[in-house]
Each structure stands twice: as structure tokens, then as C-alpha cells.
Structure 1
Amino acid sequence: MPQLQHISLTQAQKIIVLQQQLHISSKAARGERGVLQSLEHLGYIQIDSISVINRAHHHSLYNRVKGYKEQHLNQLQRSGSIFEYWSHAAAYLPMSAYRYSLPRKLALKNGEQHWFKKDPKMMAQVLAEIADCGPMMARDFASATHTNSGWWDWKPAKIALEQLFMQGDLMVTERRGFQKVYDLSDKVLPADVDRTVPSTAQHCQFLIEQYLQANAIAKAEHFGYLLKGFKTNIKQQLQLMLEQGLIVQLQVGADVYFARAGVEKLLKQKLSRSKVKILSPFDNLLIQRKRMQQLFNFNYQLECYVPKPKRLFGYFSLPILQGQQFVGT
């Protein structure tokens, strides 16, 4: 077994920040093309409904893409370049990753419980309505009439929409304001998209490769964040990839991390120590809080979920990154 390469914690921080593309290169693509490239590199951008400063997906992309405009996501979604689904949370994902959403969709379709109990009759009615009428939002069912039973019951219809979305029968074709517009998946998906269901090994390898591409280094527990049933299979795949030379291990202080071979070459790149970024609480860099504490000595909590008397900083304090160091909130 090759000898472990050692890097310092400071070097690890630099590699991670550079790999997260938070310091925009002058050669980086701008605008809509830049957004797509950023999503393909990061693997996802989290969608969040909180809009104190701006919604998380806009905030995170603004920090990474020159010339970012909010309409770019809708344009990419309508063109079939990206899609909405569940990563560790609601997210925009590149269409190139579509096939890796299929295992969860099939599990839900085959009986795995989601947030709500299935109502097959309502789901069939909602699906038929969209097939007949075209793309619809949840609020359209508040006023639409149904031929068999009169007025739609809006709440069950909304739950049915979400279930059909999660199990893959419907997709979001765009958002109007922040409202999802649903259509049949076959009408949304590009003709050439890969619809083959990955094996467990393929899925785990994808999760590992995508995470290292976006985050540079990781421990076994960082892969498959908040995904159920992957822990053992990811560990097995990591060992196989090590044996195949697809990944390596780096020692950072007392801890051992996985990385792609050659990741230390990033240390040759310049990283401004004075440039400041105010990050979204849901930014890809810091969404795994325990990892941030270990690697950046940064203990951050979004306090909108904390009772007011227990808050230290306020309802919506934002992390401040200067160079490769978190300097406050």
C-alpha cells in the first residue's frame, strides 16, 4: 500500500475552497453557461424557501458565477439542461445526473413511504388532469373543477402532486415566482437523457466521484450525506476504488481523507487572502456543519430554527469567508 501523503490543515482548507469554485477564475464561463457548468461541477444547488436576503439557490450561484441572473435557472430548466429533485434536500441538479435519481423514485413508486400516505385515486385524477390540460401548479387545483366529484380538494391534490413528483411521474418544468409548474415527465425529459437505472455499485461510485469533484477531500461518512441505506455500500466502493487507483488517501493532521489523485496540485493556484464572500447558510461549502468544524474550526448554526431566547447572533446570520478562513457571521 503506498505511503500516505500528508498535507496541513491550512493546505486542506485552500484546496477545498478552490475546489468549491468560490474564487471565480477570470477564465470561468459567465451567465447561463456558467450556471450550468457550476451545477455540473458541484452536483447540486440546494433550493430553499427562506428569502431573507435571497433564496439559497440564487445566493450560492451568485457567489460562483459572473453575470448570474435569477432567470438563468428557469431557462436551463425549460431547456432540459437541469432538473429539480431531491439531493440531501430539494435541489437543482444537472440533467447528466438524472439516472441517479431513479433508484429513489422507483423505491417510492414501489411502496416506500414518503412524507404522506399515498392516495392512489387522487394521484390518478391529478395525473389525468395534467395529461389533459398540460402543465399545472398546485394552486390551479384550488379552482379547477373535476368531472366526477365537483371541486378539487386542494390539499390532497397538492400532496398527490408532490408524491407523483417524488416517484418520477411528474417533473417541474419551471417555477413561476417560487411556485412549481408540473408536467408529465415524458414531456419534460430530453429524448437523449440516460434513463437506465444504475446498479448499487455504480450509484455509490457516482456519489463518491461527484463529492470529491466538488469538495476535494472527504471521509467515508461525508459521501451520501443524509441518504439512507448507502453507508456500507459506499465503504465497500471506496475500498474498491482505492485498490483500482481511482482515488487516494491523504493525511490531514490526525485524520485520513479520501481524494482524487493529484488534488494537491491545486496548492499551486493563487487564492486571495483578502477577498470576502458572504455565504448562504445552505451553501455547498458548509452544508455539512460537523465537517466545517473539523476542517475550518467553524461552528455555525442557522438560528432561525432556534428559539429566540437561545439565539446568539440572530434569526438569519450569514457565514463570512475571507480567503480560506471563516471569520464570522
Structure 2
Amino acid sequence: MIEVRRPKDLARLRRLALSAQGLLQRQPFGSGLAGARRAISHMGYVQIDTISVVERAHHHVLHSRVPGFEPAMVDRMLRNRDIFEYWSHAAAFLPIDDFRFSLPYKQAIKSGQTHWYRSPDRKLMAELLARIRFDGPLRSRDLETGTSKQAGWWDWKPAKKALEQLYMEGDLMVSDRDGFQKTYDLTERVLPAHVNTELPSIEEFAEHLIDQQLRCHGLVSLKGLTYLRRNTALRKAVKAQVSDRLAEGALEQAQVNGGDVFLMEAGAFESPLPRLNNRVKILSPFDNTVIQRDRLKALFQYDYQIECYVPEAKRQYGYFCLPLLYRDEFIGRMDCKAHRKIRLLEIKSLHLEPHSHDQDAVISALVDAVGQFRQFQNCDSVTLTQVYPKQLTQAVCSALEALG
């Protein structure tokens, strides 16, 4: 067991985690479409979210890691069958090569486990499936109109539930997207012939999760290996394999300040790592690095909560505050909104937390990051309303003026 108590040892764990997530190197996965493809393959998933006050989460996560990334590339990867859409710990885009590991959950849903809806309408599901089989792919908007004579035999809400149930059970896949309008087709017509469709054993699934999590996170807690997965047998299999790997010396453990214990591959703690850089990364609240809040707090001492689900009167930082990463430290959060019609990025509030870095260097790096983020939002100008602590207002506003 590695006891991590000294700041320099904790800093090494942070670098290991950030490097594995592709947040230290300038082009960890390459650039453009190929880089986005490799990024999803490495990370195992990119979470999908509908909130659009700024560019959506699945685009934001890739923008943070892939130079030259454009949002249209996600739809292109979906159509090219490089990725598929399904449930990870949440709705996500996943590498097509991992398709077989979506099958246990599909099988569980088909066997009666509830995901969204209890008592699915099997008759309506059969009718929808037959419609798609004979008439071709069905767009989600075809259900929303409810006015087509051809589609007049269904009611919108039950039909939408039935369609989603068929998708969750694996009979249908999302074959294409137009924004958040999905097109569904039969799985056998969507899935490329080369994809492995053999149901994995519980041991194979456990091995896949351990390898994936170590690859994309560098270090992970036992709890984090099965984050938000309710499969008791899978958790037991993961725990057993972790014990075996520890006994074999393939894994080692690190305990942070006498508390949380993290697993990593043997030798990872001493392995060469990329240097820290002086860039600020503006991350999505759903970024793979921050989504496990307990891990985030243990490794980075960063207490983060997305507040869009918190009543407005109880919000501390804003509706959709974005984590700010500088070097190996989260140094604040920024609540903003992209006004797309007038091409304005509004920073409603900027909260900078106490840190050990040169304040001028942090502000300079932050302004550079805001400039790039503004372009990603397709905005031409930036406004800033509030800065905390308030004594930094003049310095930050003056630096932002250089963006025009």
C-alpha cells in the first residue's frame, strides 16, 4: 500500500489521473475526426446531455481533448458506425467495439428489470417493431407530430415509451441523429457485420470494466469501477478479480491521507508522466474527469455540484457552472450562457478559489481559455457580470478586454 500524504505524492496521483484522461497533452488522441474517434475509444464513453446553455456535454468533452473537433463529427461517427448510442452509467456514445458489453443490461431490461418504465406495452412494441421492419427507420419526430394519417394508429406518449423500451432492450438502435432528433432502426440493420455480439460472461464483463477504468482514469477506487451499476453479481466479480490482481502483483493500492484507497497498475505511480502545462481547461459538468464527485473530492479536494437540479434560491455558483482546471488543480468554476442569436457568450459569474499559483498567470491562462471557448460556442463577444472574490474584478475584466 502506497501511503500518499506528502503534497508531491498527491500531485503525482493527480498527474496520473489527468494524463490518463487526456487533459495534460496538447494532442493526446490526435486531432479532428480521427482524434475524436480515438478519444471515445480510450475513454470508454462520452455522456450525452440535453442541456444547451452552452455547447452540449458530448461535444464539450471532446472539444476539451481533441484539437480541431467539430460537433458534426459525433453524428458522422454515429453514421459511420464508429460509435453507438446506449446506456453506460447514463445515456452515452460508446465505442462500437464495446458493443457486446451493452448486452447484459439489455438482457436484464428484457427480462423485467425496470429502466424508465414499468409494465411496458408489449402489443404496441410489437406493432412499432413490425412497422420499422417493413417500412424502414423511424424518426423520433414521426411520433411527435401525431398528425400523419400513416402514423395515426398510435398515441404519442405510449408510442414514445414503447420505442424507448425497444431501444433499451436492444431490438432497436439509434442509426442516425439530427441534433436531438433520433432515428431508430432494427439492430441487425444498424450493427456492422464484424462486431462481436456474443454475450460476455460475468467474468469477461468484470475484466473489461477493470481494464477500461484503469486505462481511462489511471487510478480508480473499487466503488468507482462499477460506478452507478446496480448489478450485484458484476460487483462481486469485479471485487474478486481485483483481489486476484493485487495478490499477483499486477495492481497496487494508494491511500490518500489515510482515507480513500485507489487502485492502479503496478509501477504506474513511478512511471514517466507528461509535464504539467499552464493552460486552463474549461470542462463540462459531465466531463469524465469530474463525474465521480467522491473521487474528485478525494484526489483534487474539489467539492463540486452541478446546480441546474438545485432550486434557484439555493444555488451557490449558478445554473450550469463549469469546472476550471489549471495545471493539476481545480481553481474555480464559471457559470455562463451562449446567446447564439446575437453570438454573445455571457459569463454570469466567475468564482476563483484560493490556490498557490501566480494570480496573473492564472488570469492570463483563463482569458486564453475563454477566447477558445467563445469560438467553440460560435460567439463573437464576451460579457462578464460578477467575479468572486470581488477584488479580482478589475484584473479579470481588463484581461478580457483583449478578446474584443
Identity across aligned pairs (percent)?
A: 44
Which structure has the larger Rg over C-alpha atoms? 2
Which residue in the other structure is 2:299 paired with?
A: 295
- Per the TM alignment, residue 265 of structure 1 is displaced from its structure 2 partner at its CA by 4.9
Which residue in the other structure is 2:134 paired with?
A: 132
Structure 1 position 17 matched with structure 2 position 18? yes
Which residue in the other structure is 1:327 paired with?
A: 331
Q: Note the alpha carbon deviations across 1:180-236, whole angstroms, 9 max, x for none.
A: 111100011010101111111111111111011111111111111100023322211
Structure 1 position 243 matched with structure 2 position 234? no
CA distance in 1, matches of 2:43, 2:273: 21
Which residue in the other structure is 2:46 paired with?
A: 45
Q: Note the alpha carbon deviations across 1:48-94, whole angstroms, 9 max, x for none.
A: 00011110000000000011011111111111110000000000000
Q: Note closer, same or farther for the CA distance 1:201–1:169 as it changes in structure 2 (3 Å cut).
A: same
- Please point out which of 176, 180, 189 is paired with 1:178: 180
Letter matched to residue 228 of structure 1? R
CA distance in 1, matches of 2:106, 2:77: 22
What is the alpha-carbon root mean square deviation over aligned residues? 1.7
Letter matched to residue 124 of structure 2? M
Q: Note the alpha carbon deviations across 1:15-51, whole angstroms, 9 max, x for none.
A: 1111110133347421111111001110000000001
The 8 Å contact of residues 27 and 65 in structure 2, kept in 1 or not, is answered as: no
The 8 Å contact of residues 24 and 274 in structure 2, kept in 1 or not, is answered as: no
Structure 1 position 158 matched with structure 2 position 160? yes
Paired residue total: 323
TM-score (ref. length: structure 2): 0.77
Structure 1 position 271 matched with structure 2 position 273? no
The 8 Å contact of residues 27 and 67 in structure 2, kept in 1 or not, is answered as: no
Q: Note the alpha carbon deviations across 1:142-191, whole angstroms, 9 max, x for none.
A: 234458xx532111111111000001000001111211111100011010
Letter matched to residue 195 of structure 2? V
Secondary structure at the counterpart of residue 100 of structure 1: helix
- Per the TM alignment, residue 102 of structure 1 is displaced from its structure 2 partner at its CA by 0.3
CA distance in 1, matches of 2:173, 2:28: 34
CA distance in 2, matches of 1:242, 1:195: 31
The 8 Å contact of residues 3 and 256 in structure 2, kept in 1 or not, is answered as: yes
Structure 2 residue runs of 5 or longer lacking an equivalent are 334-404
Which residue in the other structure is 1:192 paired with?
A: 194
Which residue in the other structure is 1:258 paired with?
A: 263
Secondary structure at the counterpart of residue 228 of structure 1: coil
The 8 Å contact of residues 289 and 300 in structure 1, kept in 2 or not, is answered as: yes
The 8 Å contact of residues 46 and 90 in structure 1, kept in 2 or not, is answered as: yes
The 8 Å contact of residues 12 and 252 in structure 1, kept in 2 or not, is answered as: no
- Per the TM alignment, residue 299 of structure 1 is displaced from its structure 2 partner at its CA by 0.5
- Per the TM alignment, residue 5 of structure 1 is displaced from its structure 2 partner at its CA by 4.0
Q: Give the structure, 1 or 2, with the largest relative contact order (CA under 8 Å, sep 6 or more).
A: 1
- Please point out which of 194, 209, 212 is paired with 1:210: 212
Which residue in the other structure is 2:71 paired with?
A: 70
Structure 1 residue runs of 5 or longer lacking an equivalent are none
Letter matched to residue 185 of structure 2? D
Q: Note closer, same or farther for the CA distance 1:100–1:249 as it changes in structure 2 (3 Å cut).
A: same
Structure 1 position 101 matched with structure 2 position 102? yes
CA distance in 2, matches of 1:41, 1:206: 13
Secondary structure at the counterpart of residue 306 of structure 1: coil
Structure 1 position 123 matched with structure 2 position 128? no
TM-score (ref. length: structure 1): 0.93
CA distance in 2, matches of 1:175, 1:245: 45
CA distance in 2, matches of 1:53, 1:307: 20
Q: Note the alpha carbon deviations across 1:91-137, whole angstroms, 9 max, x for none.
A: 00001110100001011112222221210011011111111221112
